[in-house]
Copies of this chain bind each other. A is one copy, B any other.
Amino acid sequence: MELRHIRYFLAVAEELNFTRAARRIGIGQPPLSNQIRDLEEEIGASLFRRMPHGAELTQAGQVFLPEARAIVAKAEQAKALALRAARGELGRLRIGFTGSAAFSPIVPSSVRSFRRAYPEIDLTLEEAYTTRLLERLGAEELDAVFIRPGHADPPSFRSHTLAEEAMMIALPSGHPLAGAESLPLSALSGEPFVLFPRTAGPGLFDRIVAACRQAGFEPILGQVAPQITSIANLIAVELGVSVVPSAIAQIRVPGVTYIAIAGDGPVARLTLATRREERSAVVQNFIARVLAAKVELV
Protein backbone atom coordinates (compact mmCIF):
# COMPACT_ATOMS: atom_id res chain seq x y z
CA MET A 1 0.00 0.00 0.00
CA GLU A 2 1.25 3.44 -0.93
CA LEU A 3 -0.08 6.91 -0.26
CA ARG A 4 -1.02 6.99 -3.94
CA HIS A 5 -3.56 4.24 -3.34
CA ILE A 6 -5.02 6.19 -0.45
CA ARG A 7 -5.16 9.44 -2.41
CA TYR A 8 -6.88 7.66 -5.30
CA PHE A 9 -9.31 6.01 -2.92
CA LEU A 10 -10.21 9.41 -1.49
CA ALA A 11 -10.82 10.83 -4.95
CA VAL A 12 -13.20 8.00 -5.83
CA ALA A 13 -14.87 8.11 -2.40
CA GLU A 14 -15.51 11.81 -2.83
CA GLU A 15 -16.66 11.71 -6.45
CA LEU A 16 -18.39 8.32 -6.18
CA ASN A 17 -17.51 7.98 -9.84
CA PHE A 18 -14.32 6.43 -11.20
CA THR A 19 -14.29 8.44 -14.42
CA ARG A 20 -14.64 11.82 -12.72
CA ALA A 21 -12.21 10.87 -9.96
CA ALA A 22 -9.63 9.91 -12.59
CA ARG A 23 -10.12 13.25 -14.33
CA ARG A 24 -9.69 15.05 -11.01
CA ILE A 25 -6.45 13.20 -10.24
CA GLY A 26 -5.21 13.76 -13.76
CA ILE A 27 -4.89 10.15 -14.92
CA GLY A 28 -7.00 7.90 -17.09
CA GLN A 29 -9.90 5.86 -15.78
CA PRO A 30 -8.41 2.40 -16.45
CA PRO A 31 -5.25 2.96 -14.38
CA LEU A 32 -7.39 4.35 -11.57
CA SER A 33 -9.57 1.24 -11.63
CA ASN A 34 -6.41 -0.85 -11.51
CA GLN A 35 -4.99 1.00 -8.53
CA ILE A 36 -8.24 0.70 -6.59
CA ARG A 37 -8.42 -2.99 -7.42
CA ASP A 38 -4.85 -3.42 -6.17
CA LEU A 39 -5.73 -1.60 -2.95
CA GLU A 40 -8.79 -3.77 -2.41
CA GLU A 41 -6.74 -6.89 -2.99
CA GLU A 42 -4.15 -5.81 -0.45
CA ILE A 43 -6.78 -5.00 2.15
CA GLY A 44 -8.66 -8.19 1.39
CA ALA A 45 -12.02 -6.51 1.03
CA SER A 46 -13.76 -4.46 -1.61
CA LEU A 47 -14.16 -0.79 -0.79
CA PHE A 48 -16.59 0.16 -3.53
CA ARG A 49 -19.70 -1.35 -4.99
CA ARG A 50 -19.48 -0.68 -8.74
CA MET A 51 -22.77 0.34 -10.26
CA PRO A 52 -23.78 1.19 -13.80
CA HIS A 53 -24.16 4.80 -12.62
CA GLY A 54 -21.04 5.13 -10.56
CA ALA A 55 -19.74 3.66 -7.35
CA GLU A 56 -20.76 3.57 -3.74
CA LEU A 57 -18.83 2.81 -0.59
CA THR A 58 -19.15 -0.61 1.00
CA GLN A 59 -19.15 -0.81 4.78
CA ALA A 60 -15.41 -1.47 4.59
CA GLY A 61 -15.04 1.61 2.42
CA GLN A 62 -17.04 3.70 4.86
CA VAL A 63 -14.77 2.62 7.68
CA PHE A 64 -11.65 3.15 5.58
CA LEU A 65 -12.65 6.67 4.49
CA PRO A 66 -11.98 8.64 7.68
CA GLU A 67 -8.79 6.63 8.27
CA ALA A 68 -7.58 7.45 4.77
CA ARG A 69 -8.25 11.14 5.32
CA ALA A 70 -6.34 11.04 8.60
CA ILE A 71 -3.35 9.33 7.00
CA VAL A 72 -3.06 11.88 4.21
CA ALA A 73 -3.47 14.74 6.69
CA LYS A 74 -0.86 13.22 9.00
CA ALA A 75 1.59 12.88 6.14
CA GLU A 76 1.14 16.55 5.26
CA GLN A 77 1.56 17.50 8.88
CA ALA A 78 4.71 15.42 9.27
CA LYS A 79 6.22 17.22 6.28
CA ALA A 80 5.31 20.61 7.70
CA LEU A 81 6.66 19.75 11.14
CA ALA A 82 9.97 18.55 9.75
CA LEU A 83 10.31 21.75 7.75
CA ARG A 84 9.55 23.88 10.79
CA ALA A 85 12.10 21.91 12.77
CA ALA A 86 14.67 22.53 10.04
CA ARG A 87 13.89 26.24 10.30
CA GLY A 88 14.52 26.12 14.03
CA GLU A 89 10.92 26.80 15.02
CA LEU A 90 10.47 23.41 16.56
CA GLY A 91 12.69 21.15 18.56
CA ARG A 92 14.85 21.31 21.64
CA LEU A 93 17.57 23.54 23.00
CA ARG A 94 19.67 22.62 26.01
CA ILE A 95 21.35 25.65 27.54
CA GLY A 96 24.03 25.57 30.22
CA PHE A 97 25.30 28.47 32.32
CA THR A 98 27.70 29.05 35.18
CA GLY A 99 26.44 30.36 38.48
CA SER A 100 28.02 33.74 37.85
CA ALA A 101 26.68 34.05 34.31
CA ALA A 102 23.14 33.82 35.60
CA PHE A 103 23.58 37.25 37.16
CA SER A 104 24.75 38.97 34.00
CA PRO A 105 21.63 40.61 32.57
CA ILE A 106 22.31 39.37 29.06
CA VAL A 107 21.75 35.75 30.08
CA PRO A 108 18.22 35.93 31.48
CA SER A 109 17.16 38.57 28.97
CA SER A 110 18.35 36.66 25.91
CA VAL A 111 16.84 33.39 27.14
CA ARG A 112 13.55 35.16 27.78
CA SER A 113 13.59 36.79 24.37
CA PHE A 114 14.33 33.46 22.65
CA ARG A 115 11.56 31.74 24.56
CA ARG A 116 9.07 34.33 23.40
CA ALA A 117 10.22 34.24 19.81
CA TYR A 118 10.23 30.41 19.61
CA PRO A 119 7.62 29.21 22.10
CA GLU A 120 7.53 25.73 20.58
CA ILE A 121 11.18 24.99 21.29
CA ASP A 122 11.56 22.74 24.28
CA LEU A 123 14.08 24.65 26.45
CA THR A 124 16.28 23.03 29.08
CA LEU A 125 18.42 25.11 31.46
CA GLU A 126 21.23 23.68 33.50
CA GLU A 127 23.69 25.28 35.89
CA ALA A 128 27.23 23.93 36.32
CA TYR A 129 30.86 24.96 36.36
CA THR A 130 32.52 26.16 33.18
CA THR A 131 34.61 22.98 32.96
CA ARG A 132 31.62 20.68 33.31
CA LEU A 133 29.60 22.77 30.86
CA LEU A 134 32.26 22.46 28.18
CA GLU A 135 32.47 18.71 28.78
CA ARG A 136 28.73 18.38 28.34
CA LEU A 137 28.75 20.65 25.29
CA GLY A 138 31.41 18.46 23.68
CA ALA A 139 29.45 15.30 24.54
CA GLU A 140 26.39 16.82 22.83
CA GLU A 141 24.50 16.83 26.09
CA LEU A 142 24.17 20.61 25.88
CA ASP A 143 23.78 22.84 22.83
CA ALA A 144 24.88 26.27 24.03
CA VAL A 145 26.66 27.30 27.24
CA PHE A 146 27.27 30.65 28.94
CA ILE A 147 30.74 30.42 30.46
CA ARG A 148 33.66 32.32 31.95
CA PRO A 149 36.31 31.33 29.39
CA GLY A 150 40.04 30.85 29.80
CA HIS A 151 42.54 32.69 27.62
CA ALA A 152 42.60 30.03 24.96
CA ASP A 153 39.29 28.82 23.53
CA PRO A 154 39.28 25.12 22.70
CA PRO A 155 39.29 24.77 18.91
CA SER A 156 36.26 22.49 18.75
CA PHE A 157 34.03 25.22 20.15
CA ARG A 158 32.87 28.50 18.78
CA SER A 159 32.85 31.38 21.26
CA HIS A 160 30.91 34.62 21.21
CA THR A 161 32.15 37.27 23.63
CA LEU A 162 29.16 38.78 25.38
CA ALA A 163 30.58 41.03 28.05
CA GLU A 164 33.84 42.15 29.67
CA GLU A 165 32.78 42.90 33.20
CA ALA A 166 34.87 44.73 35.76
CA MET A 167 35.38 42.82 38.99
CA MET A 168 34.88 44.05 42.53
CA ILE A 169 36.47 43.37 45.88
CA ALA A 170 34.14 41.63 48.35
CA LEU A 171 34.86 42.18 52.04
CA PRO A 172 33.16 41.31 55.32
CA SER A 173 31.35 44.50 56.41
CA GLY A 174 33.34 44.52 59.66
CA HIS A 175 36.67 44.55 57.79
CA PRO A 176 38.86 47.62 58.42
CA LEU A 177 38.92 48.43 54.66
CA ALA A 178 35.15 48.07 54.24
CA GLY A 179 34.51 51.78 54.33
CA ALA A 180 36.71 52.69 51.35
CA GLU A 181 35.25 54.08 48.10
CA SER A 182 37.67 52.08 46.02
CA LEU A 183 40.74 50.00 46.76
CA PRO A 184 43.77 48.84 44.77
CA LEU A 185 43.94 45.08 44.46
CA SER A 186 47.22 45.15 46.44
CA ALA A 187 45.17 46.05 49.52
CA LEU A 188 44.15 42.37 49.67
CA SER A 189 47.69 41.04 49.99
CA GLY A 190 47.89 38.96 53.14
CA GLU A 191 44.11 38.35 53.24
CA PRO A 192 42.84 34.77 52.74
CA PHE A 193 40.84 34.49 49.50
CA VAL A 194 37.49 32.70 49.31
CA LEU A 195 37.39 31.21 45.80
CA PHE A 196 35.77 28.44 43.82
CA PRO A 197 37.97 25.42 42.97
CA ARG A 198 40.32 26.13 40.07
CA THR A 199 39.13 23.06 38.19
CA ALA A 200 35.61 24.45 38.16
CA GLY A 201 36.57 27.50 36.11
CA PRO A 202 40.28 27.81 35.37
CA GLY A 203 39.74 30.84 33.13
CA LEU A 204 38.29 33.17 35.71
CA PHE A 205 40.43 31.69 38.51
CA ASP A 206 43.65 32.30 36.61
CA ARG A 207 42.64 35.86 35.74
CA ILE A 208 42.14 36.67 39.40
CA VAL A 209 45.45 35.11 40.43
CA ALA A 210 47.26 36.82 37.54
CA ALA A 211 45.80 40.20 38.51
CA CYS A 212 46.99 39.73 42.09
CA ARG A 213 50.50 38.86 40.92
CA GLN A 214 50.47 41.91 38.64
CA ALA A 215 49.49 43.94 41.71
CA GLY A 216 52.59 42.56 43.41
CA PHE A 217 51.40 39.75 45.70
CA GLU A 218 50.55 36.08 45.68
CA PRO A 219 46.94 35.54 46.83
CA ILE A 220 46.49 33.27 49.84
CA LEU A 221 43.94 30.61 48.94
CA GLY A 222 41.71 30.07 51.91
CA GLN A 223 38.19 28.63 52.05
CA VAL A 224 36.97 26.98 48.84
CA ALA A 225 33.41 27.91 47.83
CA PRO A 226 31.41 25.07 46.31
CA GLN A 227 29.53 27.57 44.15
CA ILE A 228 30.38 31.09 43.10
CA THR A 229 27.06 32.25 44.58
CA SER A 230 28.05 30.96 47.99
CA ILE A 231 31.22 33.09 48.12
CA ALA A 232 29.20 35.96 49.56
CA ASN A 233 27.89 33.82 52.39
CA LEU A 234 31.38 32.63 53.30
CA ILE A 235 32.64 36.23 53.34
CA ALA A 236 29.73 37.27 55.52
CA VAL A 237 30.97 34.85 58.21
CA GLU A 238 34.42 36.41 57.81
CA LEU A 239 36.17 33.42 56.26
CA GLY A 240 38.11 35.76 53.97
CA VAL A 241 37.87 38.21 51.09
CA SER A 242 37.30 37.75 47.38
CA VAL A 243 37.22 39.29 43.94
CA VAL A 244 34.00 38.69 42.01
CA PRO A 245 32.45 39.80 38.71
CA SER A 246 30.43 42.95 39.27
CA ALA A 247 27.30 41.06 38.24
CA ILE A 248 27.72 38.90 41.33
CA ALA A 249 27.94 42.07 43.43
CA GLN A 250 24.19 42.34 42.82
CA ILE A 251 23.70 39.68 45.44
CA ARG A 252 23.32 41.92 48.44
CA VAL A 253 24.13 39.68 51.38
CA PRO A 254 24.04 41.27 54.86
CA GLY A 255 27.58 41.44 56.20
CA VAL A 256 29.25 41.74 52.77
CA THR A 257 30.50 44.99 51.25
CA TYR A 258 31.59 45.36 47.62
CA ILE A 259 34.27 47.87 46.72
CA ALA A 260 35.43 48.99 43.28
CA ILE A 261 38.99 48.09 42.31
CA ALA A 262 41.22 51.11 41.74
CA GLY A 263 43.58 50.95 38.77
CA ASP A 264 44.00 47.91 36.48
CA GLY A 265 41.76 45.26 37.97
CA PRO A 266 41.00 41.83 36.51
CA VAL A 267 38.23 41.59 33.94
CA ALA A 268 35.64 38.79 33.92
CA ARG A 269 34.74 37.78 30.36
CA LEU A 270 31.39 36.19 29.66
CA THR A 271 31.03 34.16 26.45
CA LEU A 272 28.50 31.94 24.77
CA ALA A 273 30.06 28.74 23.46
CA THR A 274 28.60 26.28 20.94
CA ARG A 275 30.06 23.35 19.01
CA ARG A 276 32.00 24.49 15.96
CA GLU A 277 30.32 21.93 13.66
CA GLU A 278 26.89 22.86 14.95
CA ARG A 279 24.45 23.22 12.02
CA SER A 280 21.12 23.18 13.81
CA ALA A 281 18.93 26.17 13.05
CA VAL A 282 17.71 26.24 16.65
CA VAL A 283 21.22 26.96 17.92
CA GLN A 284 21.86 29.47 15.14
CA ASN A 285 18.65 31.26 16.05
CA PHE A 286 19.63 31.26 19.69
CA ILE A 287 23.08 32.73 18.96
CA ALA A 288 21.40 35.44 16.91
CA ARG A 289 19.04 36.26 19.80
CA VAL A 290 21.89 36.43 22.30
CA LEU A 291 23.96 38.72 20.09
CA ALA A 292 20.91 40.91 19.53
CA ALA A 293 20.39 41.13 23.28
CA LYS A 294 24.08 42.07 23.68
CA VAL A 295 23.62 45.05 21.34
CA GLU A 296 20.38 46.12 23.04
CA LEU A 297 21.87 46.05 26.53
CA VAL A 298 24.78 48.38 25.70
* Distance in Å: Cβ of A56 to nearest Cβ of chain B: 10
* Distance in Å: Cβ of A258 to nearest Cβ of chain B: 43
Of the listed stretches A82-90, A170-178, A219-227, A239-247, name the one at the interface; the rest are far from the partner chain.
A82-90
Instruction: List 6 interface pairs A-B (beta carbons < 8 Å), by A numbering.
Output: A1-B79, A43-B83, A45-B83, A58-B85, A58-B280, A63-B81
- A28-72, CB < 8 A from B: 42-47, 49, 58-64, 67-68, 70-71
Nearest-CB residue, chain B, relative to A47? B82
Interface pair A58/B42, CB less than 8 Å apart: no
| Chain A residues with a Cβ closer than 8 Å to the other chain, count | 43
What secondary structure prevails in chain A residues at the interface with B? helix
Selected contact of A79 from candidates B3, B42, B61, CB within 8 Å: B42
Residues on A close to B: CB < 8 A? Answer: 1-4, 6, 42-47, 49, 58-64, 67-68, 70-71, 74-75, 77-79, 81-88, 90-92, 279-282
A81 contacts which chain B residues (CB < 8 A)?
63-64, 67
